Amino acid sequence: MDHTEIENTDDWLGLPTPLESCKQHILLLENEVDELNRQLRKARSDIFGLVQMNDQLAEDRSRLSGEMKNAKIQIARLTGEASEMLSKLGSLEQIRHQRDHLLREMGLGTDMMLKERLP
């Protein structure tokens, strides 16, 4: 037997040949590429969904911004009306106070005020 043949123990231990190792490595790489492609498709789908959600949120924000602007206008109008009514109420209170004062001076105050306050 040749000395180089004795030291070649690759077949004895069941070690793969270089060709078998390359085939195995190719299979591993193909599986990895398939998995990466699957992840890429999912990521693209997720991105598409996020873009749609962003568009919907932008539309909602724009609509709500318009509604808020209208609400602020209505609040300003109602605040003005309330202020005007409070002013009128203050004037009426002042007139009532003056009337009660005059009725008291004339001696009619207590009877008239009691009648007005009774149901």
Q: What is the pLDDT of residue 17?
A: 84
- The residues spanned by each domain of the chain are 16-117
Amino acid at 109: G
| Average per-residue pLDDT for the chain | 86
Q: List all residues 6 or more positions away from 109 whose beta carbon is below 8 Å from its beta carbon.
A: 100, 103
Q: What angle do CA 6, 7, 12 make, to 5 degrees?
A: 85
Predicted confidence band at 118 (pLDDT cuts at 50, 70, 90)?
very low
> pLDDT (tens digit, 9 = 90+) per residue, 24-82?
999 999 999 999 999 999 999 999 999 999 999 999 999 999 999 999 999 999 999 99
Predicted confidence band at 119 (pLDDT cuts at 50, 70, 90)?
very low
Q: What is the pLDDT of residue 55?
A: 97
Residue 6 has pLDDT above 60, yes or no: no
Rounded CA-CA distance 86/77 in Å is 14
